[in-house]
């Protein structure tokens, strides 16, 4: 029998740290501090359920591709298809229930969120813009958190969503360079296949520069304070480190660029939004 640890490894649960900080940061800004505990719990549960549903669906959709990819060939040994499908259904139900708990608009939009995160898994079959669809999926997190707090959709979370979309597309381009040969062999589409590895890395630099500008624009649109803008210096340094590591080209460097740098980006963002309201005046 598969253990819970096997399932968490199967869906790369640790990568939840990429989207969750932006949901929490949007929550702090929307609430101008801390919202009620029930809202915080609802947002966290919705986030975890959404990502779990998305990743189990992704694993099911790419099952045969993953078995033929040396980087992912052992994934199917961690969890069986039936177990993965059951988790996908349960997590989807969890997202809808948590959205119902939060407010009517969250409930109304929860099927849209599921459709977006599921659709991403199919895009590599027909479009080179799959990286941007992944960004779109993760960009729903701060928008959902904002709606959870306010019950309405505003302009600032849309600016933040655009920044997250560009950031995710950029780091996914870097990560996808590992699968350049496999994607070409399987006939899968990606910007890496279209542009080549050097071209994809150059595009990632421009996307991250635009994402940083988007984070600045979010601060201006939301009326954040000085601490938030100081935190963006850390974000900029982490992105610079990411591209320095990515230039090396080996698997270990790409993994450092992908996980370590982007963890710092999320941590700096959420710390900046939090301290902006609870730090020194």
DSSP one-letter string for 85-124: HHHHHHHHHHHHHHHHHH-HHHHHHHHHHHHHHHHHHHHT
> Is residue 2 very low, low, confident or very high in pLDDT (cuts 50, 70, 90)?
low
> Is residue 259 very low, low, confident or very high in pLDDT (cuts 50, 70, 90)?
confident
Of 222, 234, 225, 229, nearest to 281 by C-alpha is 225
- Over residues 109-136, the mean pLDDT reads 94
Distance from CA of residue 84 to its chain's centroid?
Answer: 20
pTM of the model: 0.92
Mean pLDDT of the chain: 90
Of 207, 206, 212, nearest to 268 by C-alpha is 212
> Is residue 280 very low, low, confident or very high in pLDDT (cuts 50, 70, 90)?
low
Q: What is the CA radius of gyration of the chain?
A: 18
How many Å apart are CA 171 and CA 239, to the nearest integer? 9
Residue-range domains of the chain with CATH: 4-278 (1.10.357.140)
Of 119, 136, 4, nearest to 57 by C-alpha is 119
Q: Are 245 and 253 in contact (CB under 8 A)?
A: yes
DSSP one-letter string for the chain: ---HHHHHHHTTGGGGGTTHHHHHHHHHHHHTS---HHHHHHHHHHHHHHHHHHHHHHHHHTHHHHHT-TTTTTGGGTS-HHHHHHHHHHHHHHHHHHHHHH-HHHHHHHHHHHHHHHHHHHHTTT-TTHHHHHHHHHHHHHHHHHHHHHSS--HHHHHHHHHHHHHHHHHHHHHHGGGHHHHHHHT---HHHHHHHHHHHHHHHHHHHHHHHHHHHHHHHHT--HHHHHHHHHHHHHHHHHHHHHHH-SHHHHHIIIIIHHHHHHHHHHHHHHHHHHS--
Q: What is the pLDDT of residue 182?
A: 83
Q: What is the pLDDT of residue 119?
A: 95
- Over residues 204-233, the mean pLDDT reads 97
> Is residue 149 very low, low, confident or very high in pLDDT (cuts 50, 70, 90)?
very high
- Over residues 125-150, the mean pLDDT reads 95
The sign of the torsion formed by the CA atoms of 265, 270, 273, 276 equals: negative
How many Å apart are CA 129 and CA 120, to the nearest integer? 10
Residue 281: pLDDT over 60? no
Q: What is the pLDDT of residue 105?
A: 97
Is pLDDT larger for residue 68 or for residue 172? 172
- Over residues 198-220, the mean pLDDT reads 97
Is pLDDT larger for residue 281 or for residue 62? 62
Q: What is the pLDDT of residue 82?
A: 87
Residue pLDDT, tens place only, 224-255: 999 999 999 999 999 999 999 888 877 777 77
Q: Are 234 and 266 in contact (CB under 8 A)?
A: no
With a pLDDT cut of 90, the percent of the chain lying above it is 67
Residue pLDDT, tens place only, 83-97: 889 999 999 999 999
């Amino acid at each position: 029998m598969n253990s819970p640890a096997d399932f968490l490894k199967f869906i790369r649960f640790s990568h939840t740290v990429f989207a969750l900080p932006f949901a929490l940061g949007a929550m702090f800004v929307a609430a101008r501090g801390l919202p009620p505990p029930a809202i915080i719990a609802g947002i966290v549960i919705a986030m975890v359920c959404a990502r779990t549903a998305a990743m189990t669906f992704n694993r099911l959709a790419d099952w045969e591709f993953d078995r033929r990819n040396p980087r992912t060939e052992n994934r199917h040994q961690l969890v069986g298809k039936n177990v993965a499908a059951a988790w996908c259904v349960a997590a989807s139900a969890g997202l809808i229930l948590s959205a119902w708990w939060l407010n009517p608009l969250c409930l109304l939009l929860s099927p849209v969120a599921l459709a977006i995160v599921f659709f991403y898994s199919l895009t590599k079959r027909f479009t080179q813009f799959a990286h941007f669809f992944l960004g779109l999926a993760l960009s729903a997190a701060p928008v959902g958190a904002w709606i959870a707090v306010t019950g309405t959709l505003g302009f600032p979370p849309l600016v933040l969503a655009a920044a997250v979309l560009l950031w995710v597309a950029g780091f996914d381009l870097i990560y996808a360079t590992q699968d350049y040969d496999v994607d070409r062999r399987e006939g899968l589409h990606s910007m890496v296949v279209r542009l080549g590895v050097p071209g994809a890395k150059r595009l990632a630099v421009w996307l991250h520069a635009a994402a940083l500008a988007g984070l600045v624009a979010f601060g201006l649109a939301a009326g954040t304070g000085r601490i938030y803008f100081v935190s963006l210096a850390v974000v900029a340094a982490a992105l610079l480190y990411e591209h320095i590591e990515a230039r090396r080209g080996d698997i270990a460097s790409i993994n450092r660029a992908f996980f370590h740098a982007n963890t710092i980006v999320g941590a700096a963002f959420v710390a900046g939004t939090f301290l902006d309201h609870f730090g020194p005046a």
